[in-house]
Structure 1
Amino acid sequence: MTLRILVLAVLFMMLAAPLQAASEEVRPETAPLLESVLETAPVEIDGQLLFTVRGVSSFPAEQRAEAIRGRIEKVAANPSFPSNELSTEVVENVTIIMAGEATLMIVSEADAQLEHTSRDHLATLHLMRIQRAIDEYRQSRRSDALFKAGLYGAGATALLVLWIVVLLVLNRWLDKALSRLLKSRVHAVGIQSFEILRSETIWKAFHGLMVVIGVATIIVSAYAYLHYVLALFPWTRFISNGLFALAAGAVEHMGKSVGASIPDILILAIIYYLSRFVLRRLQRFFDAVGQKRVTFAQFEPEWALPTYKLVRILILAFALVVAYPYIPGSESAAFKGISIFIGLVLSLGSSTAISNLIAGYLMTYRRVFKVGDRVKVGDVTGEVIAIRLQVTHLRTIKNEEVTIPNSQILNGEVTNFSSMAGTQGLILHTTVGIGYETPWRQVEAMLRAAAERTSGVLSEPQPFILLIKLGDFAVTYELNVYIRDPHVIAQTYADLHRHILDLFNEYGVQIMTPAYEGDPDVPKVVPREQWYAAPASPGHREEQ
């Protein structure tokens, strides 16, 4: 044994002593934990893994693996040395694998204990693996092997080119065939006359999808070609292994991600279908309440739809809160940032919307009015044609549609002309000023007669008259009449005023309103013979 071998053995024992001592002190059940902590490095020849080695702080694993690889390649590059002449030699507590007089590697007790086997057995396995690696190294670099690899590479290249040509031709043929088959069947997507997606756009998207599939197929084929061809030659085999490891790692990562998301997706599906089941049952129940097939005391049928909408919002909000942790990516910083941004925007911009929403529900349950009622909100008088969660729509007598926020309605004064008109009648009133020389009994009789002539005025309850003011120059009378239909208030007032004018003209009584300065020589009345002065005629609407 040469002096150099002895020095190397002693040096390795000195370096491996701390590791060996530590491994001897470690109990068997803690050995895997120690192994996972220690640094390891692979010994590779032409991209083929032989085994892994460990190191210590003064001789890291990567340096040790690189040194072993260099010594093995040096021996493999010397064809005069037979691989079956590799040997092992025991020097104190280590086993040395040698190629003649050259040392390839040293196997210590620490290496064997961390591999959970004996030192002699581990050295024998390493020796056999090194022999096979040397034989493969030499075999792959023979001229006939390189020539054969070149032929296989050329054949693979020709097949790749032919496959790409076939793919291009097939893609073009499929494009034309599907164009003839489907282009006439692809229609625009729209709502009534508005086109959301034109048929040309849909077809272009379908054509682009086919192009993407073709390009992806070519890329996968080229990737498989490179992996095969690079693996044929020993100098590029490690690149091929890297490509395979890259693809395998990507597929493994995707598989793990999908597998980890499957339980969450199942939970989300359960939450979705359970929420939909509950909402459908609630919708049927409230439809029955709205149609009076199910009745409750103190619960109006018109409350059914808004109550269902309110309960639906609560159920959907609860389902979203429960489902949020199971949404894939919900724990990412980007997802949380977007959630915070959306919440901030809603909180800053929806205060008015929320107040109108709450006001809409309060109006519903307070029974302020309903669709079809005649109401007055502020300065606007009209018929309620729609009650939304945010606003209420009124149609005025001029056929104008006015939109009023619900919060404004709730905070303001609302006059409902329809709420009591159907049961007790709606009272319309008008005033006239008559001089003191006219008996009040005559005035009241004329006012009652005008009310009787007016269509739409109820005979029961009877009209009544109030003397509301004894003025300086005239007495103010107020005529009150009952009607049922609040939607004809303006027309009823017009007819009532026409008949009052006719009655007072007919009996020659002068109306003093609005102002009186002195008694005229002739009363300001219209003689009966002039009631239908041109262009009026007896058949005019006022006589009806």
Structure 2
Amino acid sequence: MIVRTPVLAFLFVMLAAPLQAASEEVRPETPSVLESALETAPVEIDGQLLFRVRGISSFPAAERAEAIRGRIEKVAADPSFPSDGLSAEIVENVTMIMAGEATLMIVSEADARLEHTSRDHLATLNMMRIRRAIDEYRQSRRSDALLKAGLYGAGATALLALVIAVLLVLNRWLDKALSQRLKSRVHAIGIQSFEILRSETIWKAFHGLMRVIGVATIAVSTYAYLHYVLALFPWTHSISNGLFALATGAVEHMGKSVGATIPDLLILGIIYYLAQFVLRRVRHFFDAVEQKRVIFAQFEPEWALPTYKLVRILILAFALIVAYPYIPGSESAAFKGISIFIGLVLSLGSSTAISNLIAGYLMTYRRVFKVGDRVKVGDVTGEVIAVRLQVTHLRTIKNEEVTIPNSQILNGDVTNFSSMAGTRGLILHTTVGIGYETPWRQVEAMLRVAAERTSGVLGEPQPFILLIKLGDFAVTYELNVYIRDPHGIARINADLHRHVLDVFNEYGVQIMTPAYEGDPDEPKVVPRAQWYAAPASSDQRKAG
């Protein structure tokens, strides 16, 4: 039995009156900013949305919606009240929707403005929705409807069991069929004899992927089953709607996320292809410079490759700076933290590497040396076999490879034996000490004869002799000869010394180096007959 509640109606009228008075200060065609920002709550019956209602500070929207829902369900649960018995009554400035003598809800002018319609029209629409909800509420709880829903639910359960069984069998069959067809084509991944991924590991990953696909298919089928079965019964219809909203919300969120990143990905793609295009054109240009098809004054062709590497770093750095804001997740705190950490590690650990890198480029443009030159760096003398950005590799005369940091080379002294050898020639020198009793003209003539006999010594420019010291016991002569091959310095020097010894022995002149304090009884010369004493051979006689 439904009882009229005039006190409750009076309270609703009193609550609606202030809203009506406040609304008169605002033009009807323009809702106030406050009303547009008010919170609303849905009124749902068995998971079906009827309408949304607003609230006030003393009666929040959620409490108002719950109160309206409770009164509607109470009326719907009373089969003695016909659904067409609803009526609308106007009291003061509000419209009351009545179920007999019971008030279901009150529609005010503020509610109508929220829906952008008139109060009477909104009351009529809400009354029609309540009437339909009452009919559906009663229809869904009839015994025949519940029996039908139970049969459909049982059928869906049986169908789910069949689908799961079929999926399990199909997954096993598909796994076996693909294994037979692809097993012979799957091989281990490795570099030469080192295996990065074994074939067994690849197969385990493949089987795991097939199991994941099977589980995902079963999960989707179970979700569809729950959504369907829960929607059959009025008490669980709202849960079914919640599952559907959860799935659609996840898909919508993923779609929005992907959609939001598509423009950024397109921009990243454009930046990538533009950078690749510019790098290709720059590489072709510097290739032309290296091949001397393009010539610039004061720019050496061997500078082309290192200059291209430097320009490439600048282009890639510029592209990365431009692309950084468009990288997905670049604004996240984790991404920024990782970036700061990487920058800190590089700044702390790469100071030496950067100094060597800069030194490598400075050496290139200063033309200190090039690959193939014979140089002396500190105490190391050898041929330059590779110039890297960080280090330079030298091969000594003993066939030893020495690696020297570029910063050390830049900060030290470098002697390049090859830079002048091809033009003016490289000067080799050696010294001998001869007694004062030997005429200097004779000594110089003998030194010139020794130079003429030495293979690799140039005739032009001619060798020259310097008297560099008048010592206590001997005069020190310096023989200077020109050569073209800086890599043969050791061999030419050795041959020159051999011929100096031979010539001085031929003419019976004693070399006073090292010095001594007294003259020997016999001159310290080697007789011609003993020039090729053992272990010397006749082959050396012919070579001499």
TM-score after normalising by structure 2 = 0.96
**C-alpha distance in 2, partners of 1:207/1:10?**
71
Partner of 1:459: 459
**Structure 1 pair 542–20 and aligned structure 2 pair: CA distance change class (3 A):** farther
Q: Which residue is equivalent to 2:145? A: 145
Counterpart residue number, 1:330: 330
CA distance, structure 2, for counterparts of residue 48 and residue 542 of structure 1 = 117
Answer whether contact 1:431 1:477 (CA < 8 A) is retained. Answer: yes
Quote the offset at 1:517 in angstroms: 2.2
Identify the residue that residue 426 of structure 1 maps to in structure 2: 426
CA contact (8 A) 2:375 2:415 kept: yes
Task: Quote the offset at 1:459 in angstroms.
Answer: 1.1
Alpha-carbon shift at residue 541 of structure 1 (Å):
9.0
Q: What is the SS of the residue equivalent to 2:185?
A: coil
Q: Distance in 2 between matches of 1:514 and 1:222?
A: 104
- Aligned partner of residue 394 in structure 1, secondary structure: strand
Post-superposition shift, 1:312? 1.0
Whether contact under 8 Å (1:435, 1:474) holds in the other structure is yes
1:532 is matched with 532
CA shift for structure 1 position 480: 0.8
Q: 1:3 to 1:191 in 2, by over 3 A?
A: closer
Q: Is the partner of 1:509 in helix, strand or coil?
A: coil
Asked if 1 retains the 8 angstrom alpha-carbon contact of 2:417 and 2:426, the reply is yes
* 1:357 alignment partner AA: L
**Quick one: distance in 2 between partners of 1:283 and 1:121?**
75
Matched, 1:160 2:146: no
Q: Could you tell me how far apart the structure 2 residues matched to 1:231 and 1:409 are?
A: 81
Partner of 1:209: 209
Name the residue aligned to 2:409.
Answer: 409
**What SS is found at the alignment partner of 1:31?**
coil
Q: In 2, Cα distance between the equivalents of 1:265 and 1:18?
A: 54
Tell me what 2:368 maps to.
368
TM-superposed deviation, 1:190? 3.5
Q: Residue in 1 aligned with 2:88?
A: 88
Q: Residue 4 of structure 2 contacts residue 103 of structure 2 at CA under 8 Å; is this kept in 1?
A: no
How far residue 533 of structure 1 moved from its aligned partner, in angstroms, is 2.3
What is the DSSP-based 3-state SS (H/G/I as helix, E as strand, rest coil) of the residue aligned with 1:53?
strand
Shift of the 147–542 alpha-carbon distance from structure 1 to 2, 3 Å rule, reads: farther
Checking the alignment, whether the CA contact within 8 Å between 1:372 and 1:383 is kept in structure 2 is yes
Q: Note closer, same or farther for the CA distance 1:527–1:32 as it changes in structure 2 (3 Å cut).
A: farther
Q: Which position in structure 1 is the counterpart of 2:304?
A: 304
For 1:351, the aligned partner's letter is: S
Q: CA deviation at 1:213?
A: 2.1
Query: 1:511: which partner in 2?
Result: 511
| Paired residues of 1:19 and 1:56 also in contact (CA < 8 A) | no
Is residue 2:437 matched to residue 1:437? yes
Once residues 194 and 448 of structure 2 are traced to their aligned partners in structure 1, the CA distance between those partners, rounded to angstroms, is 60
Residue 206 of structure 1 and its aligned partner are, at CA, apart by 3.0
**2:474–2:515 CA contact under 8 A, matched in 1:** no
Match of 2:498 in 1: 498
Cα deviation 1:305-361 (Å, max 9, x = unaligned)? 111111111111111111111112222222222222222222222222221111111
Shift in Å, 1:193? 4.1
CA contact (8 A) 1:5 1:103 kept: yes
Are 1:467 and 1:477, in contact at CA under 8 Å, matched by a contact in 2? yes
**Partners of 2:271 and 2:323 within 8 A in 1:** yes
Instruction: Let me know the Cα RMSD of the aligned residues.
Output: 1.9
Quick check: 1:464–1:479 contact (8 Å CA) kept in 2?
yes
Q: CA deviation at 1:29?
A: 5.9
2:287 counterpart residue number? 287
1:487 and 1:521 map into 2 onto residues whose CA distance is 43
SS of equivalent to 1:243: helix
Q: Structure 1 pair 3/185, CA: closer, same or farther in 2 (3 Å)?
A: closer
After TM superposition, list the pairs within 5 Å mapping 1:243-392 onto structure 2: 243-392=243-392
Amino acid at match of 2:458: L
- Whole-angstrom CA distance in 2 between matches of 1:222 and 1:542: 101
Query: Per the alignment, in what secondary structure is the counterpart of residue 299 of structure 1?
Result: coil
Deviations 1:451-481 (A, max 9, x none): 1221111111111111111100011111111
Following TM superposition, by how much is the alpha carbon of 1:4 offset from its aligned partner in structure 2, in angstroms?
5.2
Give the whole-Å Cα distance in 1 for the aligned partners of 2:437 and 2:401: 48
CA deviation profile, 1:431-462 (whole Å, cap 9, x unmatched): 11111122222222221122122111111111
For the 8 Å contact 2:36–2:114, the answer to whether it is kept is no
Map 1:393-404 → 2, pairs under 5 A: 393-404=393-404
Query: How far off is 1:285 after superposition?
Result: 0.8
- Is this contact kept in 2: 1:303–1:364, CA < 8 A? yes
Residue type at the aligned position of 1:466: L
Q: CA deviation at 1:209?
A: 2.4
- What CA distance in whole angstroms lies between the structure 2 residues aligned with 1:492 and 1:33? 100
Question: Distance between the aligned counterparts of 1:285 and 1:210, measured in 2?
Answer: 51
The alpha carbon displacement at 1:490 in A equals: 0.8
Q: Distance in 1 between matches of 2:355 and 2:216?
A: 53
SS of match in other structure, 1:147: helix
For 2:338 and 2:177, how far apart are their aligned partners in 1? 45
Task: Return the offset for 1:289.
Answer: 0.7
Normalising by structure 1, we get a TM-score of 0.96
Inter-partner Cα distance in structure 2 for 1:74 and 1:541: 132
2:4/2:101 contact within 8 Å kept:
no
The unaligned stretches of length 5 or more in structure 2 are none
**1:16 corresponds to 2:16:** yes
Q: What corresponds to 2:54 in structure 1? A: 54
Paired letter, 1:263: P
Residue 27 to residue 196, structure 1, CA distance change in 2 (3 Å): farther
* Whole-angstrom CA distance in 2 between matches of 1:82 and 1:223: 38
Give the residue type in structure 2 aligned to 1:114.
L
**Alignment correspondent of 2:128:** 128
Q: Distance in 2 between matches of 1:125 and 1:508?
A: 137
Mapped contact 1:380–1:396 kept (Cα < 8 A): yes
CA spacing shift, 1:274–1:183, aligned 2, 3 Å: same
Gap change, CA 1:337 and 1:11, over 3 Å in 2 = same
- Measured in 2, the distance between the counterparts of 1:69 and 1:56 equals 18
1:234 aligns with 2:234: yes
For these two proteins, the number of residue pairs brought into alignment is: 543
- How far off is 1:191 after superposition? 3.7
Write the deviation string for residues 66-95 of structure 1: whole angstroms up to 9, x where unpaired: 111111111111222221222222222222
Residues 490-524 of structure 1, C-alpha deviations (whole Å, 9 max, x = no match): 11111111222222223222222123121111222
Identity, in percent, stands at 88
Distance 2:204 2:414 in 1: 57
Residues 188-223 of structure 1 show CA distances to partners (whole Å, capped at 9, x for unaligned) of 334444443333333333332222222222222222
**1:16–1:56 CA contact under 8 A, matched in 2:** no
Could you tell me which residue of structure 1 aligns to residue 178 of structure 2? 178
Equivalents in 2 of 1:503, 1:272: separation in Å?
73
Structure 1 CA distance, aligned partners of 2:125 and 2:131? 10
Establish whether residue 484 from structure 1 lines up as the match of residue 522 from structure 2. no
Q: Which runs of 5+ in 1 are unaligned?
A: none
